[in-house]
Structure 1
Amino acid sequence: MFLKNKGFFLKKRKDEFGKLNGKQVEWQLANVDHLVFEVTDACNLKCKYCGYGEFYADYDERVNKYMPFEIAREMISYLAALWQSPLNYSRNHNVTIGFYGGEPLMNMDFIKSVIDYLEKLPIPKIHFNWSMTTNALLLGKNMDFLVEKNFNILISLDGNEENHSYRVKHNNKNSFRDVLQNIKQLQQKYPDFFKKNVNFNSVLHNKNSVSEIFNYIKKEFDKNPSINELNDVGIRPEKVEEFKKTYRNNYQSLQQAENYEEIINESMLNNPDFKGLVSFMSQYSGNIFEKYTDMLSVKIKKIYLPSGTCTPFSKKIFVTVNGKILPCERIGFQHALGTVSKSGVELDFEKIAQRINSYYEKITDQCMSCHRTQTCVQCIYYLDKLDERPVCKGFTNEKRFSDYLASNISYLENKPEDFKKAFEEVSIG
Structure 2
Amino acid sequence: MSLKILEFETQNSKYIYDGVTGTVMAVDDILLDCIYGYESKGEEELQQELRKKYQDERRIDAALAFVKKYSTKAFYVDDEAEKEKWEDSVNVTGETIQNLLKIGFTQQIILNVTEDCNMRCKYCFLSETYHYTRNRTNKMMSVETAKKALDLYFSMMKQYGEINPGKKCAVTFYGGEPLLNFEVIKWAIEYTKKNSPIGYMFNITTNGTLLKGEIADYLVQHNTAITVSLDGCEEEHDRNRLSAGKKGTYKTVTDNIREFVKKYPSYKKINLSCVYDYCTDLITNDEFFKENSDWLPYVGSVSLVSTNGTDYYEQFSEEDIRKFTERFIRFRQEYAMAVIQNEKRSSYKDIFFTLQLMPAVLKYGIEDKKLPIVPYTGACFPGMKFSVRTDGKFDVCEKIEGTRSIGDVDSGFDVEAIAQLVKDYNRNVTAQCGRCPISKQCPMCYAYAIRNGSFNSPKCDELVQVFKASLMTQYTILEYNPHATDNFIYREEWILNS
TM-score, normalized by length of structure 1?
A: 0.81
Contact preservation (8 Å) 2:114, 2:180? yes
Contact preservation (8 Å) 1:229, 1:249? no
For residues 350-389 of structure 1, the aligned pairs below 5 Å read 350-383=416-449
Aligned to 2:170: 96
Matched, 1:278 2:358: yes
Match of 1:307, SS? coil
d(CA) in 1 for partners of 2:236, 2:211: 21
* 1:27–1:122 CA distance, 2 compared to 1 (3 A): closer
Aligned to 1:190: 264
Residues 50-84 of structure 1, C-alpha deviation per residue, up to 9 Å, x if partnerless?
11123112222322111001111111111222122
d(CA) in 2 for partners of 1:356, 1:304: 7
Once the two structures are TM-superposed, the CA of residue 156 in structure 1 deviates from its matched residue by 0.8
**Counterpart residue type for residue 331 of structure 1:** I
Please identify, of 396-405 and 259-268, the stretch whose mean Cα deviation from structure 2 is larger.
Answer: 396-405
Structure 1 residue runs without a partner (length 5+): 291-300
Residues 100-124 of structure 1, C-alpha deviation per residue, up to 9 Å, x if partnerless?
111111111101111111111162x
Equivalent of 1:151, from 224, 227, 234? Answer: 224
For residues 98-137 of structure 1, the aligned pairs below 5 Å read 98-121=172-195, 123=197, 126-137=198-209
Match of 1:80, SS? helix
Aligned to 2:63: none
Aligned to 2:310: 235
**Counterpart residue type for residue 270 of structure 1:** I
Equivalent of 1:49, from 123, 126, 146? Answer: 123
* 1:333–1:393 CA distance, 2 compared to 1 (3 A): same
* 1:15–1:409 CA distance, 2 compared to 1 (3 A): farther
d(CA) in 2 for partners of 1:249, 1:8: 39
Equivalent of 2:380, from 298, 310, 322? Answer: 310
Aligned to 2:390: 321
Equivalent of 1:212, from 281, 284, 297? Answer: 284
d(CA) in 2 for partners of 1:249, 1:224: 27
Aligned to 2:107: 33
For residues 52-63 of structure 1, the aligned pairs below 5 Å read 52-63=126-137
Contact preservation (8 Å) 2:109, 2:170? yes
Aligned to 1:348: 414
Matched, 1:8 2:75: yes
* 1:322–1:407 CA distance, 2 compared to 1 (3 A): same
Taking every aligned residue pair, what percent have the same amino acid on both sides?
Answer: 25
**Counterpart residue type for residue 278 of structure 1:** M
d(CA) in 2 for partners of 1:397, 1:169: 35
d(CA) in 2 for partners of 1:162, 1:38: 30
* 1:253–1:39 CA distance, 2 compared to 1 (3 A): farther
Once the two structures are TM-superposed, the CA of residue 323 in structure 1 deviates from its matched residue by 2.1
* 1:132–1:282 CA distance, 2 compared to 1 (3 A): same
Number of residues of Structure 1 aligned to a counterpart in Structure 2: 406
Contact preservation (8 Å) 1:384, 1:391? no
Matched, 1:169 2:235: no
Residues 207-248 of structure 1, C-alpha deviation per residue, up to 9 Å, x if partnerless?
532222232233322544222110000215xx5512678889
* 1:412–1:286 CA distance, 2 compared to 1 (3 A): farther
* 1:394–1:386 CA distance, 2 compared to 1 (3 A): farther
Once the two structures are TM-superposed, the CA of residue 349 in structure 1 deviates from its matched residue by 1.9
Residues 284-303 of structure 1, C-alpha deviation per residue, up to 9 Å, x if partnerless?
4568799xxxxxxxxxx999
**Counterpart residue type for residue 255 of structure 1:** I
d(CA) in 2 for partners of 1:426, 1:140: 25
d(CA) in 1 for partners of 2:372, 2:380: 17
Aligned to 2:141: 67
Residues 239-267 of structure 1, C-alpha deviation per residue, up to 9 Å, x if partnerless?
55126788899986443338534589554
Match of 2:444, SS? coil
Please identify, of 395-404 and 83-92, the stretch whose mean Cα deviation from structure 2 is larger.
Answer: 395-404
Structure 2 residue runs without a partner (length 5+): 1-31, 37-66
Once the two structures are TM-superposed, the CA of residue 418 in structure 1 deviates from its matched residue by 3.1
d(CA) in 2 for partners of 1:247, 1:96: 39
Contact preservation (8 Å) 2:357, 2:470? no
Please identify, of 146-155 and 216-225, the stretch whose mean Cα deviation from structure 2 is larger.
Answer: 216-225
Aligned to 1:297: none
Aligned to 2:408: 339
**Counterpart residue type for residue 163 of structure 1:** E
d(CA) in 1 for partners of 2:481, 2:241: 38
Please identify, of 277-286 and 168-177, the stretch whose mean Cα deviation from structure 2 is larger.
Answer: 277-286
Contact preservation (8 Å) 2:394, 2:405? yes
TM-score, normalized by length of structure 2?
A: 0.71
Contact preservation (8 Å) 1:41, 1:103? yes
**Counterpart residue type for residue 379 of structure 2:** T
**Counterpart residue type for residue 53 of structure 1:** S
Q: CA RMSD in A?
A: 3.7
**Counterpart residue type for residue 37 of structure 1:** L
Matched, 1:200 2:269: no
Contact preservation (8 Å) 2:403, 2:452? no
Once the two structures are TM-superposed, the CA of residue 3 in structure 1 deviates from its matched residue by 5.4
Contact preservation (8 Å) 1:323, 1:339? yes
- Which structure would you say has the larger Rg? 2
**Counterpart residue type for residue 144 of structure 1:** D
d(CA) in 1 for partners of 2:402, 2:77: 37
Once the two structures are TM-superposed, the CA of residue 338 in structure 1 deviates from its matched residue by 1.6
d(CA) in 1 for partners of 2:260, 2:116: 24
Aligned to 1:181: 255
Match of 2:387, SS? strand
Match of 1:375, SS? coil
Once the two structures are TM-superposed, the CA of residue 390 in structure 1 deviates from its matched residue by 2.8
